[in-house]
Amino acid sequence: MQADIIVDAKGLACPMPIVKAKKALDGLQAGQVMEVSSTDKGSVNDFQAWIKQTKNELVKHEEVNGVYKFYVRKT
């Protein structure tokens, strides 16, 4: 998947992956996609809750070798 911006939050604990993601998403236009990489297991639940609150779209979520990737489309 092609992302317009990539946020590296690996090694950061909650809530920092969400904080970095929010800051990056604020700079995007509607329809653009952000990729966030995190190693925090709690970020899976955090991102799902955050997406519901912000009404953005979680396009894809995957986990590869302990790295969680979230693709978020700004609405």
Q: Tell me if 25 sits within 8 A of 56, measured CB to CB.
A: yes
9: annotated active-site residue: no
Structure tokens at 38: 């995190």
Q: How far is CA 2 from the centre of its chain?
A: 14
Q: Which of 14, 28, 58, 59 is catalytic?
A: 14
Structure tokens at 40: 């925090």
Q: Which residues are catalytic?
A: 14
